Amino acid sequence: MKFGIIGSGSWGTAIAKILTDNKNQINWWVRSDSNINSFKSRRHNPHYLSSTFFDTKLINFSSSAEDVIKNSDLIIIVIPSAFVANTLNGLSPDIFKGKKIISAVKGILPDKNILLNEYLNSEFGVQLKDYFTVLGPCHAEEVAAEKLSYLTFSGIDEKTTQKICGFFKTPYLIPICNNDILGVQYAAVLKNIYAIGAGIAHGLEYGDNFLSVLIANSADEMAGFLRKVGIENVEVGTIDHHAILKNKIPKTNYAASVYLGDLLVTCYSLYSRNRTFGNMIGKGYSVQSAQLEMSMIAEGYNASKCMYLINTKVKAEMPIAETIYRILWNELPPEEGFEQIESVLV
């Protein structure tokens, strides 16, 4: 199996570390030739997770996404959702033919308001059976430090999903499999929006008591949306531990790591860029100023608008996510927005 990684940010670097720690050869798209030269000479990414060193003999670098895709069997796309179309535009419509795709994208493509699998299907004919996702809770910084983390891989082809999981198992990384491709993607999008809300609350100097209520209500709001779009088994207390021990893919369990767990860590962790972005908004930064201050993309910003538009059709009850959207996009003062949020929390 030849792996190709499209993206060289912090999460792309963490994924490359996992694969090369397992002695897998990888093809890696890095946008800049100067970054590639620096990487080769110093053995670490010059801009992200720079304390993580690589065996560069296992890495074939390229500044051509086309070459990486052509020379790989399994393509891992790990770039911000806002840059996906620009990165892949101009490639041959059949370039992904015969390939397996793993999405590590944690957002919706802005302007199109669609998930990555929908975009790849419409532009390149990628079928859902050849599409897989890898999602958290898993901060790149903790992977770099080799702190025990869990990743969930989702795919409707259970046999291939299990095979992919095996490539990522390390002493510091435990892979989990499920078959809820759409549910895990929507959960990853929504948790970023709620993490911005948690950051705003912190910036407004709300305390831990309020934050716990906000996150609990956000979890319920997320579950309501997932049910509305047809995700099955969005419930708690249904983990089949016997199935897991027998290496079978269990049914969806909303309290599991990829749903509730990822929401919690993204809302609470100081590593969370969405929480950091929200904290700035709560402290009085404008959206533009907060974006300039940060060196990484806060996916929840664009996602808040995308999900607002998607929900005009789904019609789930989402007062928290809608208020965060209005703060970020309609210039609703954060203080006023959170007074409205206070009134709907239970």
293 C-beta neighbours (distance < 10 Å), count = 11
In the CATH scheme, what is the code of domain 183-342? Answer: 1.10.1040.10
Nearest to 18 by CA among 107, 160, 138, 180: 138
- Indicate yes or no: pTM above 0.85: yes
Q: Quick check: helix, strand or coil at residue 30? A: coil
Q: Quick check: helix, strand or coil at residue 218? A: helix
Instruction: Kindly give the pairing relationship between strand 3-6 and strand 26-29.
Output: parallel
Residues of the chain with CATH 3.40.50.720: 3-179
Cβ atoms of 118 and 185 within 8 Å: the answer is: no
Q: How far apart are CA 267 and CA 52, in angstroms?
A: 26
Q: 3-179 is classed in which CATH architecture?
A: 3-Layer(aba) Sandwich (3.40)
| pLDDT, position 224 | 93
| pLDDT, position 324 | 98
Could you tell me the maximum CA-CA distance found in the chain, to the nearest angstrom? 58
Residues of the chain with CATH 1.10.1040.10: 183-342
Mean pLDDT, contiguous 10-residue spans, the chain (346 residues) = 95 96 96 93 93 96 96 96 93 96 93 93 97 92 94 94 95 92 94 97 97 96 92 64 56 72 93 95 95 85 96 96 98 98 96
| pLDDT, position 286 | 95
